[in-house]
């Protein structure tokens, strides 16, 4: 096996050497492709195929990567792949000239070509371009994976996404859809009167979520900074400032593990709307998901991992207590103390920490018994106050808050609140978080004095929500892992 691998490596090295020799020859003859600065493209491959009746007999210019070549004496065929697809090119010596044809025969799969020629249909009915000129725009000095097997090794695909995009058309389609998801969100929110804003990524106090931040040193100020874990606290400052509807789509960073649904940097969308509450956020979420699904997939019914999810129907709304009662057959309305909750957890073999109180244990029951069942779109509402430090209490039951998490496929897809705007209550919540920090909870929030000052200035009743864009894209593209919807996911260094 080792001997066979050595032979393959020698063959590859020889092929790479030949490519460099071809480039050197082109450069010596004044035909260096890397000196070309532009090429005017008039059409893409699918444009020609979709509008053949209009374009037949017309001259077009296309450009792309040569993925196939078959030389047949005085005439040859090749296939050019561009942004939208691929198209066959007929290259004849009498049409492009003897010297150009001689050059063309030496071009390699992977080279980038510009083709000008007439649109026609072959005898077998394939729409093609009859080349009148062929221009080498870039010489590929590397060898693409063998086309029949493609690029299938997932580690290589993620590390060399540029090759993955060349070899796997469905991957390119996924990222085209990702762009459509984000543009559709913007289109919908802009039409609802929201304003897109940008807030700092480097912060002195990373708050707004329960997560461990990345830390860095800012040399110019000789101070420690953190990468943001959330967009929340700065966006709320803008609500205080009178910007009644704001949103931001941006990267956030959490110093946590890697798995099929988590990457240390990911895209979050948060929005805040003055004078509404979490019910308003539920309505917005339903309408936004339907709109994006229709724009991106053409339907309000999507399929993920074999499960069909109908977004056209009203989304179910159920309290966390009722959801736990439904699936775990435990009624937390009958649990009146942390001691009772811990006893219940012991009976159900649910592990908890010393710092966990009744509300924390309710959430542990929810995670253990409920989440996996939440396949169809559903809002889990009214969370315990212990796990919701930035949320307004329910007036009729202050042990719980006006919060919801939106679930599909057993995943949390969004998190929303009636935002806490009482600065005195907020300070008490921060103080409780500081005690958790002191007890060793690295995900608890620090007190943010400037944010408290903003609340003292006065924030109107506000609804806010955070969407995980990457999970939304996974759902809209039926992608199994978050790395499949991140162009360049975080990877361990090869030399580690």
User: Over its length of 496 residues, how does the chain's per-residue pLDDT go in tens digits?
Assistant: 555 555 566 678 899 999 999 999 999 999 999 999 999 999 999 999 999 999 999 999 999 999 999 999 999 999 999 999 999 999 999 999 999 999 999 999 999 999 999 999 999 999 999 999 999 999 999 999 875 455 677 888 899 999 999 999 999 999 999 999 999 999 999 999 999 999 999 999 888 887 889 999 999 999 999 999 999 999 999 999 999 999 999 999 999 888 888 999 999 999 999 999 999 999 999 999 999 999 999 999 999 999 999 999 999 999 999 999 999 999 999 999 999 999 999 999 999 999 899 999 999 999 999 999 999 999 999 999 999 888 899 999 999 999 999 999 999 999 999 999 999 999 998 898 888 888 877 777 788 999 999 999 999 999 999 999 999 999 999 999 999 999 999 998 887 5
Supply the pLDDT for residue 5.
Answer: 58
- Residue 404 near residue 379, CB atoms below 8 Å: yes
Distance CA 399, CA 393 (A): 7
Contacts 24+ apart (CB under 8 A), 154-162: 154/483, 155/491, 158/483, 158/488, 158/489, 158/491, 159/491, 159/494, 161/487, 161/488
pLDDT digits (tens, 9 = 90+) for 399-433: 999 999 999 999 999 999 999 999 999 999 889 88
This prediction's pTM: 0.90
- Residue 265 near residue 290, CB atoms below 8 Å: no
């Amino acid at each position: 096996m080792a001997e066979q691998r050595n032979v393959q490596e020698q063959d590859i090295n020889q092929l790479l050497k030949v490519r460099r020799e071809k480039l050197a020859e082109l450069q010596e003859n004044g035909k260096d492709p890397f000196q070309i600065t532009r090429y005017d493209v008039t059409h893409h491959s699918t444009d020609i195929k979709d509008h053949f009746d209009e374009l037949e007999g017309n001259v077009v210019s296309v450009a792309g990567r040569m993925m196939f070549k078959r030389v047949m004496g005085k005439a040859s065929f090749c296939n050019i792949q561009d942004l939208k697809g691929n198209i066959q090119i007929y290259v004849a010596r009498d049409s492009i000239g003897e010297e150009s044809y001689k050059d063309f025969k030496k071009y390699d799969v992977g080279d980038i070509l510009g083709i000008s020629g007439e649109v026609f249909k072959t005898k077998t009915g394939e729409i093609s371009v009859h080349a009148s000129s062929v221009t080498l725009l870039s010489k590929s000095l590397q060898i693409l994976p063998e086309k029949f097997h493609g690029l299938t090794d997932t580690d290589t695909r993620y590390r060399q996404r540029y090759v993955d995009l060349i070899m796997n058309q469905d991957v390119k389609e996924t990222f085209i859809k990702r762009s459509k998801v984000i543009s559709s969100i913007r289109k919908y929110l802009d039409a609802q009167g929201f304003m897109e804003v940008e807030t700092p990524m480097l912060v002195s106090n990373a708050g707004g979520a329960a997560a461990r931040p990345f830390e860095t040193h800012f040399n110019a100020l000789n101070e420690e900074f953190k990468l943001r874990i959330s967009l929340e606290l700065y966006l709320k400052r803008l609500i205080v400032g009178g910007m009644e509807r704001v949103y931001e789509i941006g990267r956030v960073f959490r110093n946590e593990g890697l798995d099929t649904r988590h990457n240390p940097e990911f895209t979050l969308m948060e929005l805040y709307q003055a004078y509404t509450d979490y019910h308003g956020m539920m309505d917005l979420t339903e309408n936004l998901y339907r709109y994006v699904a229709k724009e991106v997939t053409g339907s309000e019914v999507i399929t993920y991992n074999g499960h069909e999810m109908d977004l056209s129907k009203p989304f179910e709304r159920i309290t966390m207590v009722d959801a736990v009662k439904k699936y775990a057959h435990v009624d937390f309305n009958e649990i009146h103390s942390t001691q009772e909750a811990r006893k219940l957890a012991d009976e159900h073999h649910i592990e908890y920490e010393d710092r966990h109180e009744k509300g924390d244990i309710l959430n542990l029951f929810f995670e253990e018994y409920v989440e996996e069942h939440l396949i169809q779109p559903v809002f889990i509402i009214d969370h315990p106050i212990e796990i919701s430090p930035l949320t307004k209490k329910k007036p009729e039951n202050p042990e719980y808050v006006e919060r919801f998490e939106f679930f599909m496929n057993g995943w949390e897809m969004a998190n929303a609140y009636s935002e806490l705007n009482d600065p005195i209550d907020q300070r008490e919540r921060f103080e409780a978080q500081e005690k958790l920090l002191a007890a060793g909870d690295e995900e608890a929030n620090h007190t943010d004095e400037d944010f408290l000052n903003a609340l003292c200035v006065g924030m109107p009743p506000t609804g806010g929500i955070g969407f995980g864009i990457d999970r939304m894209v996974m759902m809209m593209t039926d992608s199994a892992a978050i790395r499949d919807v991140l162009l360049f996911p975080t990877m361990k260094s090869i030399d580690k």
